[in-house]
Each structure stands twice: as structure tokens, then as C-alpha cells.
Chains A and B, each alone.
Chain A
């Protein structure tokens, strides 16, 4: 027996990268989820997009799914590593509150993308997620299929430093690794992104993204101007802080009109915090942050995120009471 011995091929019926996303979207849309488009500010994970970060706050039920390109500058490998990417795509799902059969629904979603569960080994292994920059944590699992993590499944307990009630289930499918698994390829760049139905011609993940991985790696590791990154960071942070000071004064001002409170741009404030988070990741990739500074930087970003979350919760309460 040799390792090169191939399994019954999964290829002929395997979904392309884009079909995988379609199927997941339609599966969850059929189960009452709103489909959102990717958020248009740099984030490190789907959790940080406002569709998760802000929507999980407060009592209002919500179900949403979206593909989120997620940037992790330090994970870039110039396109040379078959499994590591600067930017990968998460299919992010928020179910608030989680239905009692959330795990069964999740398993059905795997069947919907062509996985015959009777022919695979599936395990839910403890993995508690924590996002220190956004003051969020939850308990849950990494879902393992034949030894590979295909989904992060979290029962969110806290976000933006605030306890959630109701809690929500967050399902994060790593689309690249899932596609590589389905198509049985060793390199993510060999994943078929799209196949022309008429000619059968394929466009691979590498065709679409390899150049991007290379150029961003060069920038992230070599060219990003460290002093300017710091400058950007400080500017974004200062503006966010200023807005937070204003909103806190406004929200506690009894004489201020409800209208003034409701129109305060907290969503934009949150974007500024996200900018800081991405700049922090860039500085980190450039090796510009010492281990000692790291903790302090994370705290600065968390302060902004927690500040937004608190004010947002108060603003929502106002909106629901009027």
C-alpha cells in the first residue's frame, strides 16, 4: 500500500469554487437566511464584519450568510505555499438565536455541497474561539472531516465585551480548504474556480488569485512603509476616539433628541476601528511590533471595538423603544 494510491476519485462530481459558494448560499437562503455581500472594508475574519459584530448585539433575531474575503497579512507566502494564503474566503453564517437543530442543519449543508457523510469521518472537536481585538469569545468546535478542519462552529457568548442574549451560532466555512478537499487537490491554487459548461474549460484558483497573493506578500512583508502605517493607525484611532467621546456625551445627554442619537454614525466609527485592526496586522507582518507592544496594541483596538459595541447597544435600545 502506498500513500500515492488514489481514492475513488471525487473529482468528476466535485463542485467548483464558485458552485460551492452558490450551494451554501442557496442552502441557507432556503432556511431563512438573508444573503449579504462581502463587507467592503479590510477584515481579518468574517466575525469582524458589521453583519456579525453589530448584528449579534441586542435581542433582535437575525439570520445572515455572506462570503467574506479575510486578510491576514502575516499568513501570506508569496503564493509559494499550497495551503497558506494572505487572503482567504470565509462563508460566514450567523443564526441568532441558534435553532435547536443547528448541528443537524449544518450536517445537511455538508450534504448539500456533495459530501456523502456515510463515506467520511466527521467529528466535532472542542475549540473555543476568542477574538481579543473585538472583545469576543464563544465555545464550540472545529469540525473535522477525515482529519481536516472544515468549519469553525461557535456558540457566541460575548462580543464587543458585552454578554449576548440571546446568543448566536456562528458557522465559518473555510471555502478554499473545503474546495480543495472536495476536488481532492493538494494545492489550493489547483482548485477549479469555474468550469465553462459548454467547452469544459476551467479557470483555477491560481489563475484568479496567484498574482494577488504574490504582490500583497511583497507589499505586506517588504514594502509597506512602517512609519506611515503607524501614522495611519494613529489617525484612524484618533478619529474613532473622538467620535466615541461625542457619542457617549450624546447618549447620556437627556436633553439631546432621540433623532440626534439615532443618526449618530456608529457604523462609520466601527469602520475606523477595523482600519486600525488591519493596520495592526500589517505592522505585525512587517515585524514592527515587539511582543511587549503587541498586548498594548490589541488593547487599543479592543477599546475602540468595545466602545462602539456599548454605544451601539444603547442606540439600538433607543430605536426599539420609540
Chain B
């Protein structure tokens, strides 16, 4: 038993790739040790990473594989030995098994006597095996972007490999990766430790030896220390809090080996700029955390996570340097803001003609016109369904929605498109309703983002996306497989989210119809609309299953009963999820599956499903028919009221009659009349009670 350490030292790895690579290295090492029978009973694997290294420590690695014994059976004894002397067959078998002829044994099996050989294989030493196998595993790690660095281009990796540590207890495992020989020497923090070697006596010492060299190798520990330091430093400002930002935490965790935090300030005058701009500059451009006061308003401070530890003088220097950069960026932003105000959004409509939306389609002026056409259709459908909104403000918002693409501020901060337009619209007195709609138009940006807060914003968001999807599908740019460069899936997800979470009385088909270009009007079943309907339905499936977390069978069951009304589909899925837990309902689901199978068989055999005159149902069938007939109006009523839970509970009460029916009735009765009537009955039951969900899709145990 031994402990094992592998550390791969690299030039700084991109922060976004480290967590995935660390996990993959751990998995590869674990799988390798398991595959090669080298993991001891107390085997425990821990991974580490910093910007300059990936590492894995394994406790309880076996020094070598266990020896193995294998019994081989050869030719029959009679063939192998003639008069006690080995024949050519015996010699051939002994050679193949790697044993002496004298070691061959007589093995008696039920089929007779055969020649047997016991082959012993000595287990290979862990060091030898790891030296051979690990380099392949390491070089197979996936990286989003790779590079060559050695002449002749023998291998690709995320960044050049600079050093390797591979130890089994205190012994170096003689492996080589990318021309680098493994040793027992690591490296510490570039500045705080410098270039002197960090000697590692054994894998157990790894974490602490590196800590002495100013490297915290444990990612969770760095994360926690950053959070603590953010708290501690923020406390120096009374009432202040730092703004939680998990993605930013992850980034700085992977940019540091020895993280510390510094608080800096900026001039309060910049608080006159919109918070969105200030936060974007701090977070996206400078990787600073924003600070807010007790009321949640942005305060004129920032928090920078450093990769160094300095004294008070050093802190002053670094604080000053960061503040200087931030001030310059804020100054730029303010300059852009002021410049942009000189040309109001309304005067920018014309210049959209020179901003390309899509090469084959046209400019953003074209896009805005198309959006207007689509939004008018959607607005009409929504009005017809009883929605209220300000149409004039909506149309104003559509008209101006894309104009912020021509502003300097959006050119500088592209991630703020829409938001900037909304802020400008507000500043230019275009009315709160239009401004908010413009501001929200790209929401939700992801499945966990909020939808636009107003009906106008929701309609604009729907129109913009369905127009893009339809136009792109129209020129053959539908997403395929993992390829979706135009993020059409995300656009479709947003449509589903808006329909699910808004109060708009719109169905998927309304949205698809509104997006259809005018030349397709009157041909609702065109290939394009069919294709797009299917695409949206697939996104609804994704939404129910992966965003809302419904079981796949529930999703299939409710979608089979209708997928046009998104909110209704969700309500049915919720009711079905609750109902399926009851034993009665499970039995009903099983019965419906049976009904479906029988009907399919009947169809395959060409059997008639109809009640012929004079047909007589047997008592259990009659009971089912009666129960179904009396229940159906009740269920229909509940369904209409969308009281799906109650409707499903009612359906579950059918269980005794259904059970009795299948118990006593042979549905495919030899008598044609009886059979036809039975089939007609179960067909009626299936149709009558499948309006909420196709229960036959429900998986029962």
C-alpha cells in the first residue's frame, strides 16, 4: 500500500477550463487504477488545481497488481498423450500456455479427460504501470482550446507542460509527458515563493508543502478564503455588503494561488451613471465585486481579488493602480453616454440600415420592420384573448428597440444591448412603458433569468425571437446536432419561458403563425411552420423536463394530450405528477397501456372496432361502460375548469370496474359482435379520459 501523487505543472491555464480538467484528471486516474486493479480497499482520491497546476493524490494504491492464476483447458488427454508420452498437440498447448509439458495436468470434466494447465501471472508493479499509462491519460484530457509548443508538434495541450511530480510514497514514478521527466520537485507561487524548488517528500505532504510555498492547492479552501476575505474587507465600510456573484467567485478562484482581497474606491460622481454600466465595467471588464450600501444601492467602492500578499504600502499601491484603471473606464463610459445623448434614439432609426442583421436577410432596419409586422399579429391575438397593454407604446418600443446598436456605449459594452436602449429611452422621455419594453427585450437571457416584466416587453421579446427563428429556418440555418451558432435554441427556450411565466393568452401556434412571412399566409401547414412548430415543441419538452424537472414519462404523457398551450401543459404535468403517486392511479395507467396495446393489435389484425346491432356486453363490460359514461361529463367539467387534480382523482375511481373488466372479459372475444363492442368500449374509454394526459405513457412499476 502506498500513496500516490501526480502534479502537472503548466503555464497559466485559462480559468474557465480548470474545474472541468481537474475533475476529468481525477476520473481518468481513478478509472485507470480500478481497471488495473491497483486501488486498495481504502483507496481515496483527492484532486487539486491552481492556475499553474492540476494534481491528484490517491491514498492506498497497491504497490503492484495481485498475481493471478488462470486454468486453461487444452486438447483431450488421449490426443495429447499416447502411451504416456506427450504428442505434438501436448507440446503445442504447453507452449501456448507458457508452461513445461511436465506441468500439464489431467483434468476430468463431464465431457471426458482433458489436458489442463495452470498459468500464473505475476502482477505488474504500480510504478511501471503508471509510468506507461498515465501520460496517455493526461494527454487525452479535453480542452476547449489547445496549442502546440514543441518543435515537430508531437503533442497538443492547453498550455506548455513545465514540470511533473509523480510519487509513490517517496519514490519517483519514472514517467514522462511532453518531454518532461517526472520528479519530486514542484514550484511555488511565482512571486511570493520565487523560483527555488519545492521538494515534496511524499504525497501526504503535498498540500502543506505547497502552502509553505504560498500556494493553496485546494479549490474549495481558496473559494472559502476569498468569501471570508470579501466579508472582512467589506466590513470596514459601515453598513456595506458586497454583491454576491457566483460566476465571478469561480473565476477569481481559478485566477489565484494565494488570494487576498483589497477594497478600493471610486469618485461618487460616477454613481450618476446607470448601475448596469458600472457593474458591467467592474464585473466583466475588471473582475471586481460591486459593493452596495444598507439599502442595496451601489456604493462607490470595489473589491479586487489579488494573487499576492502585500504589506500596507503594497496595498496602497495596488489599490491606487486598480482605482486608476477603473476611473479611466468610468470616464470613458461617461463620455460615451454623453456623446450618445446628442443623437436621440428616434434619430437613429435610419442608421440601422447600415447595421447588418444577417447577410442573406438584411439590415437591422429590415429586422425592425419585420418585428413590427410580427408584433402586430401577436398583439391582435393577445387582445382577442383579453390581454391589455398599450399598443402605441409597444409599437414605439419595437420601432426603437434596435437603435441602441448604433450607440457608442453598446459598441463598448455589447453585453448591455437592450439595457442601454431602455436607459436611453427613459432618459430621453420616451415614456416608462416603451423604455421598460426596450430594456427587457433580450430577457430571459437564460433559463434561470426573469422574463420581461411588462406585457409590452413580453410581446416584443416574443416577436423578436420568432421572427429570427422563422427567418433563419427560412434560409436553411436551423440548428443541427450540437451546432447552433445563432443560438436559436436559446431564443426558442425564451419563447417557451415567456409563454409559461407571463399572463399572455397566447399559444405556441399563435406565436408560430405570427412569425410566418406574409407569402406563407393562408398556408398554415407549410413545411416551414411545421418545422418551427416541431422545434418549439422540442424546446417545450426540454423546458418541462430539464428546467421544471418533470419526470420524462409525465412530460411525454401530457405532451401527447396537447402541447399548444404552455401554461395548461404545465398545469397538467403538475396534476399528473401528484396523481401518479396513488396506487389506484398507477393501476389505471397500467390498464390504459393495456388498452392501447390491445387496440394496436386489433388494428394490425384488421379487426372492427364498432358496436354492431344486437351486440351484448357482458356484465363487467357493461359496468365499465356505465361507469365511464357517468364519469365522463364530470371529468370534462373539471377539465374545463382546469381542475386537473380533481379530474385525475375522478378517473382513478374507475379502477375497480377496470380491474374487474380485465379480470373477467376477454376483449378479443371469438364472437365478432362481442369483440367489436368490447373494442369500441375500450376505445371510447381511452379517448374519453386521455384529454389531460396519455396515461399509457406513464411508467409503472
Contact = CB atoms under 8 A, between A and B. Distances in A.
Interface stretch (A43-51, A115-123, A302-310): A115-123
A147 B147 CA distance: 26
B149 A155 contact: yes
Contacts of B15: 125-126
A124 B11 contact: yes
A207 interface: no
A2 interface: yes
A291 B405 CA distance: 12
Interface stretch (B303-311, B370-378, B530-538): B303-311
Contacts of A104: 195
A7 B310 CA distance: 14
Contacts of A97: 151
A4 B318 CA distance: 14
A215 interface: no
Given A118-B191, A124-B51, A148-B321, A165 B314 contact: no
For B152, B160, B314, B321, which residue has the most chain A Cβ atoms within 10 angstroms?
A: B321
B227 interface: no
Interface in B305-327: 306-308, 310, 313-314, 316-327
A283 to B, nearest CB: 14
Interface stretch (B29-37, B353-361, B503-511): B353-361
B148 A157 contact: yes
A1 interface: yes
A95 to B, nearest CB: 12
Contacts of A155: 147, 149, 159-160
Contacts of A186: 324, 327-328
A1 B265 CA distance: 8
Nearest to A138: B147
Contacts of B286: 147
B267 interface: yes
Interface in B284-315: 286, 288, 300, 304, 306-308, 310, 313-314
Nearest to B286: A147
Nearest to B308: A121
Contacts of A159: none
A147 B322 contact: yes
A119 B264 contact: no
Given A155-B149, A186-B327, A121 B307 contact: yes
B341 to A, nearest CB: 17
A3 B267 contact: yes
Interface residues of A, number: 50
Contacts of A4: 267
Contact of A118 (B150, B314, B331): B314
A2 B316 contact: no
Given A82-B328, A290-B356, A10 B317 contact: yes
A287 to B, nearest CB: 8
Nearest to A61: B151
Given A124-B51, A155-B149, A119 B328 contact: no
A107 B354 CA distance: 46
A124 B307 CA distance: 10
A141 interface: yes
A146 B314 contact: no
A146 B322 contact: yes
Contacts of A38: none
A291 B356 contact: yes
B147 A107 contact: no
Contact of B325 (A100, A122, A148): A148
B12 interface: yes
A31 to B, nearest CB: 16
Interface in B1-26: 11-12, 14-16
A81 interface: yes
A193 interface: no
A39 to B, nearest CB: 27
Given A98-B149, A145-B321, A3 B327 contact: yes
A128 interface: yes
A200 interface: no
B81 interface: no
A117 B191 contact: yes
Given A119-B313, A123-B307, A7 B319 contact: yes
A51 B264 CA distance: 42
A122 B314 CA distance: 13
B266 interface: yes
A107 B327 CA distance: 27
Nearest to B179: A100
Nearest to A187: B328
Given A121-B308, A125-B15, A2 B265 contact: yes
A6 interface: yes
B220 to A, nearest CB: 21
Interface in B148-168: 148-153, 159-160, 162
A110 to B, nearest CB: 11
A166 interface: yes
Given A119-B310, A290-B356, A8 B264 contact: no
A10 B264 CA distance: 18
A139 B308 CA distance: 25
B283 interface: no
B355 A291 contact: yes
A322 interface: no
A139 B157 CA distance: 11
A120 B153 contact: no
Contact of B321 (A107, A139, A166, A181): A181
B27 interface: no
A167 interface: yes
Nearest to B146: A139
A123 B325 contact: no
B328 A7 contact: no
13 contacts: A3-B264, A4-B267, A7-B316, A7-B317, A8-B316, A82-B328, A103-B11, A121-B306, A121-B322, A147-B325, A166-B151, A167-B148, A290-B356
Interface of B: 11-12, 14-16, 51, 145, 147-153, 159-160, 162, 190-192, 195, 255-256, 263-267, 286, 288, 300, 304, 306-308, 310, 313-314, 316-328, 331-332, 335, 354-356, 359
Given A119-B317, A126-B15, A147-B322, 17 more contacts: A7-B316, A7-B320, A81-B335, A82-B331, A117-B191, A122-B307, A122-B308, A126-B14, A138-B147, A139-B147, A155-B147, A163-B153, A166-B151, A167-B149, A186-B328, A290-B354, A292-B359
Interface of A: 1-8, 10, 59, 81-83, 97-98, 100, 103-104, 107, 117-126, 128, 138-139, 141, 145-148, 155, 157, 163, 165-167, 181, 184, 186, 290-292, 295
